[in-house]
Amino acid sequence: MGKLIILILIISGGWYVFNNYLKPAGIKPKDSDSPAAGICDYQEGDTVTITLNGDIPSPRCVKVKSNQNLRVQNNTEGVVTVWFDNVSSAVLFPYSIDIRPDNKYIFATPFGEYLKPGVHKLKTSLYKSSGPEIWLVE
């Protein structure tokens, strides 16, 4: 009987540790209901491209579908780091990426696997608190 109680404690303790410390973060909640940029159009195809320019990204906002992927093009003269806040590397790997000048990076994970519907800001080392917005609509 004593061994059974010890086994139950070990299993329940392991479950607690997994749920509170090791369980991957879920899908990222939206940052807002509507974009600050105003105009937000769809891009057709499997991959959506956001180009990082020295002054502003192009487009500033893009509507996307859950099965599309993100390509980020760096048109600046310096390395730019891009990431989404509140996304675990267990859900989106790599969590952040450094993109060298005149290079691009394609995130292999489709939007719907790491973003909930709504507007999300792509964080960059270039634009600080502002940046391109991605509006997942389905």
From the list 98, 121, 128, 114, the residue with the least C-alpha distance to 40 is 121
Structural domain boundaries of the chain? 2-136
- 20 contact partners, CB below 8 Å, separation of at least 6: none
Q: What is the pLDDT of residues 91-118, one digit of tens each?
A: 676 678 999 999 999 999 999 999 999 9
In 3-state terms, what secondary structure has residue 37? Answer: coil
The pLDDT assigned to 18 comes to: 43
The pLDDT assigned to 23 comes to: 40
CATH number 2.60.40.420 is the correct assignment for the domain at 2-136: yes
Q: What is the pLDDT of residues 7-43, one digit of tens each?
A: 454 665 554 444 444 444 568 899 999 998 788 999 9
Residue-wise DSSP of 67-115: T-EEEEEE-SSS-EEEE-TT--TTTSSSSEEEE-TTEEEEESS-GGGTB
The pLDDT assigned to 9 comes to: 46
The pLDDT assigned to 21 comes to: 42
In 3-state terms, what secondary structure has residue 17? Answer: helix
Q: Could you tell me if 72 and 82 are in contact, meaning their C-beta atoms sit under 8 angstroms apart?
A: yes
Q: What percent of the chain has pLDDT over 90?
A: 60
User: What average pLDDT does range 3-10 have in this prediction?
Assistant: 56
Interatomic CA distance for residues 66 and 84, integer angstroms: 16
pTM recorded for the entire structure? 0.77
